[in-house]
Structure 1
Amino acid sequence: MSSFKELVPNKKYRLYVELGYDASGTRIRKTKIVECSGKRKAAELLREFENEVKENLHLDNDNPTFKEFSYRWEKNYADNELEATTSENYSYPMKSLMNHFGNSRMKEITTFQIVRYFTKEKVGNSNLEKKYNLLKSVFKHAVLWKIIDERNNPMYGVQKPKNKRMKVETNQFFDKNEIPALFKSMENLLEHQYLIAALALLGGLRRGEVLALTPEVINWETNQIHVKRSLQNSKKLGLRLKSTKTDDDRYVTYPKSLMDRLKQFYEGQLLLKSEMGNLWEGFKDEKDKDVLLLFSNEYGKPYRPDSVTQFWDRFIKRGKIKAVSFHGLRHSSASYLLSEGVNMKVIQKRLGHKDIKTTLNMYSHINEDDDKDASNTFDKLFNDPKNDEN
């Protein structure tokens, strides 16, 4: 916990950074006196001092605590090498690791302690894979930065925990009998909202993939969309376009009626851009080039991904529709194709799954009614009176 104390009103402050307690129970505290005009500036200097202290904690000795070394790992590896959204997604699992290993010295953490930690965590099965990957990376860099010896890396004897098989349950998607009524209700949405939802439902696109669509990825003649980017939002970098990984890069074909409607909407966006003139701000891609996003506000700025979730949740609540999340439209797309007998490999490619096992694990159980229909077909064969005559 950090704080500051005013020594001279609006002029001099003492900064405090609390670092817990050492092995003997003595409080560890770093202090610094600064001169600045006002509490707001003092708070800003406090944050800078806190970051400086945390970054250099492990330099005080050759056997830092897990908490001390993890701060260094974040500053010198995670913040620079990992995607901003990936780094932020690791924040919650890291808190759990900090709570458990935080005050333990890096050289004293054993393989058995880590195994015991995962044995206990399996009860809740909460982010096991992320926690494993985090520990593996932290100790890998402890070796690279000469904090521990390679042969003493405690992660070498820890097996990667297996996540529970993820399955999509029936309350997480609209089935083929519910989709027609859903489309009828969706006509009450604003046009851009309707198109965003329809593209997700009929193509299995994620919300970030829909929001990243630009004219050059669309082939109006073949009704195909090249899904190759995603709009992401992070605290560190804000909104940005990010290229999808090679395995996620895919082409999705849509019904002509929807593509005609999308083209008309796009032409409206072009007209809006022209009318806005100098007020049009636009947006830049990952190469810092101006792009026209199909789904943007009147200034050409993209809609935030969470705004899609918000309008969809309001739509569901207002229309008293089955409580399926926006991401559930992607699941609905897969389940509908399965019910219509589309090959699982085709579904895998449309969804952009790297491994068909992911698709099989998630969706192979949802068309049990179709399996019953298959069984009924054989029942007819055995119950046919003509067979008795033969």
Structure 2
Amino acid sequence: MSESRGRRRGHNEGSITPPEKNHGKWKYTITVGVGADGKQKRRSVSAKTKRELMEKANRLRIECGKQSATDKDMTFSDLVKLYMSIKAQEIAASTMKLYNIAIYTLFKGLLPFKVSRITSDMINEILIKGKEQGLATSTIKNYKNKIGAIFNFAVDRDIISKSPMKGTLKQKIERRTLMVLPTEDQVKEMLKRAKEFDDKARKGTRPIYPILLLEVATGLRMGELLALTKADIQGNKIRINKQVTSTGDVKAPKTQSAYRTIAVSQKVLDKVLTYATGSERIFGNCRSLSIDYRFSKFVKENTDILPENFHFHDLRHFHATQLLLKGIGVQNVSRRLGHADVAITLKYYSNYLPQEDERAAELFDML
């Protein structure tokens, strides 16, 4: 074959034109059909390197429904790139971030493997490892669903005949019927150990102590806590008007009642602000998933002082019940928590006031 012509490949594999014949770039061309005028319709892509060209060629062939033998040898990394490039127009940017988080947090080890060689046993091993690392069951399930969508895409495109997600471990999420509430002494010891935990952490790791301290003192939702900026603090008041999503994006609160201003102990604020970063946000540009991971690790190392099955959100419950137990009115507690209705506050916390029930019974001792 003459060097002046594009190198012809097998059926449905298209042709490649070398850089010296295409203005310094590799070019791939494939016939995608015949037009109404009887002429062949072609599509092409160009790239600086042959490797980049083949990645683009793989995507183009699958987009055009032109499967080839090389597609069967596609790596999971190539599949992810293909999926992302095609779905970018259909899926929100925040959802695309979640896919990347799922892949690089838990499934990064699959990237170099050929898609056709990935098995359910390999995926099960990764799921078990994620649990051992302290990832919440709900988080693992979410990540698994994202990866499952990518493999289903591969099946639909005839890259593989069957998804390796079939036969993998199911992530059973146990719904807790009771709140897990620590005692005041447990919370004090938790904060003390959080300082020690931070001291032992790698340099540059986000300290967990100021986050836990402010959570105990405010009962904010994690997203609200992480979204706080220095401008949101005026004296001993904190203004809540935004939240950080699991992907790290800053968005407006979901409900109108979530917009609020609450008073906070000046002593607590002074301590927290000594840890403030140089960025606008007090706790830097961290997201809830990274804090969840750090907190899970902390809890595992301190099971002797914390209740079983203890989660970060339980500190919000601790804050609310402590206020009610110490005589703060339910209306004010509801407003501090950002509940849309006092009924929501009562639904969650009315059963955690045994002293009130005993006192109510004593009122009728005169009978």
Alignment partner of 1:356 out of 342, 357, 366: 342
Tell me which residue corresponds to 1:186: 194
- Cα distance in 2 for partners of 1:353, 1:219 equals 23
Tell me which residue corresponds to 1:342: 328
Structure with a larger share of its residues in helix: 1
Tell me which residue corresponds to 1:195: 210
Alignment partner of 2:233 out of 218, 233, 241: 218
Tell me which residue corresponds to 1:232: 245
| Shift, 1:78, TM fit | 7.0
| Shift, 1:217, TM fit | 0.8
Tell me which residue corresponds to 2:281: 293
| Shift, 1:226, TM fit | 0.6
Tell me which residue corresponds to 2:355: 370
Tell me which residue corresponds to 2:221: 206
Normalising by structure 2, report the TM-score: 0.52
| Shift, 1:180, TM fit | 3.6
| Shift, 1:365, TM fit | 2.5
Tell me which residue corresponds to 1:69: none
CA distance change for structure 1 residues 354 and 380 in 2, over 3 Å: closer, same or farther? Answer: same
| Shift, 1:340, TM fit | 2.2
CA distance change for structure 1 residues 359 and 380 in 2, over 3 Å: closer, same or farther? Answer: same
What is the number of equivalent residue pairs in this alignment?
241
* Unaligned segments of structure 2, at least 5 residues: 1-10, 17-25, 33-41, 66-86, 100-141, 153-171, 200-206
- Secondary structure (helix, strand or coil) at the match of 1:341 reads coil
Identity %: 21
8 Å contact kept, 1:203–1:333: yes
- Cα distance in 2 for partners of 1:226, 1:208 equals 14
8 Å contact kept, 1:250–1:350: yes
Tell me which residue corresponds to 2:252: 243
Give the aligned CA root-mean-square deviation in angstroms. Answer: 4.5
- Cα distance in 2 for partners of 1:86, 1:345 equals 38
- Cα distance in 2 for partners of 1:341, 1:52 equals 68
- Cα distance in 1 for partners of 2:212, 2:275 equals 14
8 Å contact kept, 1:85–1:232: no
Give the alignment of 1:1-80 within 5 angstroms. 12=28, 38=50, 40-44=52-56, 79=92
- Cα distance in 1 for partners of 2:362, 2:267 equals 35
- Secondary structure (helix, strand or coil) at the match of 1:170 reads coil
- Cα distance in 2 for partners of 1:241, 1:375 equals 45
Normalising by structure 1, report the TM-score: 0.49
CA distance change for structure 1 residues 380 and 168 in 2, over 3 Å: closer, same or farther? Answer: same
CA distance change for structure 1 residues 13 and 362 in 2, over 3 Å: closer, same or farther? Answer: farther
- Secondary structure (helix, strand or coil) at the match of 2:283 reads coil
* Unaligned segments of structure 1, at least 5 residues: 17-30, 54-73, 100-125, 127-165, 274-281, 283-291, 297-301, 383-390
Q: Deviation string for 1:136-195 (max 9, x for gaps)?
A: xxxxxxxxxxxxxxxxxxxxxxxxxxxxxx986233x32556434433433424384111
CA distance change for structure 1 residues 51 and 345 in 2, over 3 Å: closer, same or farther? Answer: farther
Q: Deviation string for 1:78-104 (max 9, x for gaps)?
A: 749xx7599999x969x99xx9xxxxx
Alignment partner of 2:288 out of 294, 305, 315: 305
8 Å contact kept, 1:176–1:339: no
8 Å contact kept, 2:195–2:209: yes
- Cα distance in 1 for partners of 2:345, 2:60 equals 46
- Cα distance in 2 for partners of 1:339, 1:255 equals 18
CA distance change for structure 1 residues 195 and 178 in 2, over 3 Å: closer, same or farther? Answer: same
